[in-house]
Amino acid sequence: MSVSGFMALAVIVVLVGYGIALYNSLVSLKHSVSKAWSNIDVLLKQRHDELPKLVETCRQYMKHEQDTLEKVMLARSGVSNALGESDVAALGKAETQMRQGLMNLFAVAEAYPELKANESFKELQNRISQLENNIADRREFYNESVNLNNVRIEQFPDVLIAKFFNFNDFDLLEFEASQTADVNVKKLFE
């Protein structure tokens, strides 16, 4: 084999190796996004299971607050539907409604001293608050994974591999602006 033939073969081997490395790193990013989504999914399902217990505990004390309780359960259903359809945009909207409903429920519970003293209520409130914090953390990790994936599949030369093997971008999990706005505490107690 001539030197030029050997050099051509070496260049081809290096290019193929580089292409394989790019492909493998894109696969890794794609699975990182899936893993991050699965972590959110687990936490949302755990919260989904806790909410009926919380609503039932509240229902025993809050005879005049059925509307607040129904809004929480309706939001719970919206989150469940969005998860079932893997619709990230709908999940963001449903999560916003869920968080607002829970915030209202906990604010209204302040007017019921017997409910606030109930051990079951306190335990459920703490558990759901802990799940909310975990969901926020996982959402941040998910969005970071999505961002890394989306940037990489647009960068050259990764875009060539991404287009050839149909790597797709993912949607960020975003909540509505009302989720990041200041809370009007006075309005909650009216």
Average pLDDT value for the chain: 85
CA distances from 3 to 7, 12, 17, 86 (A): 6, 14, 21, 55
Our CA angle for 163, 169, 172, nearest 5°, is 170
pLDDT band, residue 177 (cuts 50/70/90): low
Identify the structural domains of the chain with CATH numbers, from first to last: 3-188 (1.20.1440.20)
* For residue 150, pLDDT beyond 70: yes
Can you give the C-alpha Rg of the chain in angstroms?
Answer: 24
pTM (two decimals)? 0.75
Please tell me which residue, 15 or 57, carries the higher pLDDT value. 15
Decide: 17 and 84 in contact? Cβ < 8 Å: no
Q: How far apart are CA 112 and CA 100, in angstroms?
A: 19
* For residue 148, pLDDT beyond 90: yes
